[in-house]
Structure 1
């Protein structure tokens, strides 16, 4: 079992470069298998979720090579095999194999995955989209069986709720369907534009990505290509938050400002000292921060994935504030851990209420999920004394070399192996 040991209160100085987007990558890898020749992805983050996906590809007889953040995927000899259990259930994003195998083979058996537990994240919109395209979908105890008795036909799909996963899965399933598909009330996240850019390079005919209406003309064949992944806006937000909290002079590079505009607006409101460059953000020492209220919303609103990493910064601000996560209201497992470190936070129904500033003290805490882990790392950097974080595997799912990156800018952080078994 790994533990993170962080001795807080150290000023941060230097430069951090942001990796390719995790939330893009986990969709781009399944999308690549629709091609009939090799696809090369550049800027792939070296994280646990990627390695889990590569193991799933190996089960499908897809050859891969991954080094220096470049991933070659060769689906030439891919075979359609049922995957009701096993590795496919190890991460949430493996549900993209439903749309991809449906598109490539007209069939698939996919065991429903896990990932971070953030309350109910149903896949009813995914299934509705597949059925609209003419697929037969059976759901037995979390094993989804897909088939296409008469092939896939283009259709009009209206999303009842804005869902990134369902939008991407609907796109994957419809790129080779006969005729035209229109997806309405589609999600608009940058990661969707990234996936569509790859698919269009592979020969798909998709318009409207980044808007709420996406139009797809089905094509017969798709081929290999090269593609560079967009920077990870959630990783960027995480390190910028750490820099505002403890930085004296920190530059965060490989950032697309437009992707985190709503988040940067909140930092401005707090009084953070930042300079926005073309693809970088410079953060100077920020003192006397103002408390703000946060409400997470679908893109371009404040990202739910940044709610948890942002919370420790609010503990340095003066006044009373609230956080409302309209996407995942149950995303509150970081709160008891922060209170253990000396925070003054209450969960009141679907509202998190914060009083600040709070003097944080190092304590033993546990990362219950990926972004809660990022939250606790930032809290530990702020706190006096030593914090020991368990549940580290959750953090490594989404952050490449978090220890090395923070050490390089002056954090006192190390990862240690512990013989005790994690519960």
Structure 2
């Protein structure tokens, strides 16, 4: 099992190209199930979750063709993939795949809409807390589906097809919004989704569905109106930049000091994060192709309070990274997590590096220190793993991060990108 070794204390200078957004690419790939024609996606990141989802789609009968180094937006090295679901040969999404990647459960709505049946494994919990499927199930049942839970699977039938319905989510859910959006695109009649998620990844999915012929109104708002179509067609589409990767590398500059240009991205995707970083003492200069992030290594980071919220608030996927930044600050910060109930699993590992953090329920008090010191640590989930990388970049001595397969699920060539900007970081190959 691979590890990452970091010798910290080096400011970052240079340029980093941001990859396509994993969290956008996954539902875009699932949308290929809605049409017999080919959907080609450019700017896909080279990460493990993409590969796992391709495997899942292929076992449903999708023909996948990787087109190597795609250039969908003219300046990205992200690969392109063509997905053709001319015939759905299997409507079962097995536990063996779905348990490894929650996005696999998104096939429920599209399979049900296209084939009138689906058997999809419950994804279960994960290291950052449970993410129940009840909003997916309730919404699809409102559209006429019959769904039973049998031996850990959602067994769904809609022999007369899905019908338009008015659905209001009890809580904001990105996954449920994506699932029902796709199902509604092929449903008979008009579907209204109230209290829908507004994340940029949702808008990216809407734009692809519209390119495929779907009739969707209300993008960017919490009320989406979808008029179902009998059929959708193929499309050629470029995946949006990864806003979480963008924020992560900006935080890396904050914790080490230096100056790095982030390209192939957009500042408007992380306005809430930029506001907090600027308050903490980083300088953000917006450019046509992204932003330039800088901090004088001699100027300390200031403590700032943060509370995670659904978009457009501060994203939960940037909470762990910000905690690492605050651990190296000159001051104190209260970080409150409102999205997931168990997303402080990185705290004990950050503490091993010298961070001063006290957790009280869903809040963590972080008292900054300039004395972070390298130590062996263990990643517990995707965003927690990268928070340890950030802390290691600032820590004196050597940090060895184990279980980095979590990191590989969502960050493309992280060691290479950081090393190119002066970080002393390398992957240590483990035994097979």
TM-score between both structures, scaled by the size of structure 2: 0.95
* Residue 354 (structure 1) aligned to one of 356, 363, 366: 366
Residue 56, structure 1, aligned to residue 35, structure 2: no
How far residue 247 of structure 1 moved from its aligned partner, in angstroms, is 3.5
In 2, Cα distance between the equivalents of 1:55 and 1:114? Answer: 20
SS in 1 for 2:92: coil
C-alpha distance in structure 2 between counterparts of 1:82 and 1:418, whole Å:
34
TM-aligned CA deviation for residue 117 of structure 1: 2.0
Which of 246, 251, 265 lines up with 1:241 in the alignment?
251
Aligned to 2:37: 37
CA-CA distance at 1:116 after TM superposition? 4.3
**Secondary structure of residue in 1 paired with 2:241:** coil
412, 424, 428: which one pairs with 1:412?
A: 424
Gaps of 5+ in 2: 70-78
Is the contact made by 1:181 and 1:216 (CA closer than 8 Å) also made in structure 2?
Answer: yes
Quick check: 1:197 aligned with 2:207?
Answer: yes
Determine if contact 1:90/1:114 at 8 Å carries over to the other structure. no
Whether 1:321 aligns to 2:333 is yes
Question: Shift of residue 113 of structure 1?
Answer: 2.5
Contact 1:271 1:290 (C-alpha < 8 Å) held by counterparts:
yes
2 CA distance for matches of 1:272 and 1:84?
Answer: 45
Does residue 273 (structure 1) correspond to residue 283 (structure 2)? The answer is yes
Equivalent residue runs for 1:99-178 within 5 Å: 99-113=109-123, 116-178=126-188
Q: Which residue of 1 aligns with 2:28?
A: 28
Distance 2:331 2:122 in 1: 43
Number of the residue aligned with 2:356 = 344
Alignment counterpart, residue 290 of structure 1, candidates 276, 283, 302:
302
Please state how far the C-alpha of 1:316 moved relative to its aligned partner.
Answer: 2.3
Cα distance per residue 1:159-212 (max 9 Å; x no partner): 000110011111111111111000001010000000011011111111112101
Q: 1:16 is paired with a residue of what secondary structure?
A: strand
- 2:222 aligned residue: 212
Which one of the candidate residues 318, 333, 355 is aligned to 1:306? Answer: 318
What RMSD in Å do the two structures reach over aligned CA positions?
1.3
SS in 2 for 1:214: strand
Q: What is the CA deviation profile of residues 35-81 of structure 1, one whole-angstrom value per residue up to 9, with x for unaligned ones?
A: 11111000001100000011112211211112221011111133233
Are the equivalent residues in 2 in contact too, given 1:92–1:115 (CA < 8 A)?
no
Q: Give me the whole-angstrom Cα distance separating, in 2, the residues matched to 1:141 and 1:411.
A: 48
- Equivalent position of 2:239 in the other structure: 229
CA contact (8 A) 2:124 2:131 kept: no
Structure 1 partner of 2:3:
3
Name the CA distance, whole Å, in 1 between partners of 2:65 and 2:379: 31
Aligned partners of 2:184 and 2:228 also within 8 Å: yes
Partner-residue secondary structure (3-state), 2:198: coil
SS in 2 for 1:86: helix
Which segment drifts farther, 225-234 or 279-288?
Answer: 279-288
Q: How far off its partner does 1:275 sit?
A: 1.3
**2:309–2:338: 8 Å Cα contact kept in structure 1?**
yes
How many residue pairs get matched? 420
Give the counterpart of 1:367 among 379, 385, 388. 379
- 1: distance between equivalents of 2:132 and 2:426? 37
Question: What is the CA–CA distance in structure 2 between the aligned matches of 1:334 and 1:149, rounded to whole Å?
Answer: 46
Asked whether the 8 Å contact 1:344–1:358 carries over to 2, the reply is: no
Q: Partner residue of 1:86?
A: 96
**1:188 partnered with 2:193:** no
How far off is 1:282 after superposition?
1.0
Runs ≥4 residues deviating over 3 A: none
TM-score by length of 1: 0.97
Measure, in 1, the Cα distance between the counterparts of 2:134 and 2:111.
18
Q: Is the 8 A contact 1:90 1:115 kept in 2?
A: no
**Is contact 1:91–1:115 with CA below 8 Å preserved after alignment?**
no
Question: For 1:81 and 1:96, how far apart are their aligned partners in 2?
Answer: 12
Following superposition, the deviation at residue 306 of structure 1 comes to: 0.2
**Residue 323 of structure 1, CA deviation:** 0.4
Deviation for aligned residue 1:228:
0.5
Q: Secondary structure at the match of 2:258?
A: strand
Find the residue that maps to 1:227 and give its secondary structure.
strand
Contact 1:108 1:146 in 2 (8 A): yes
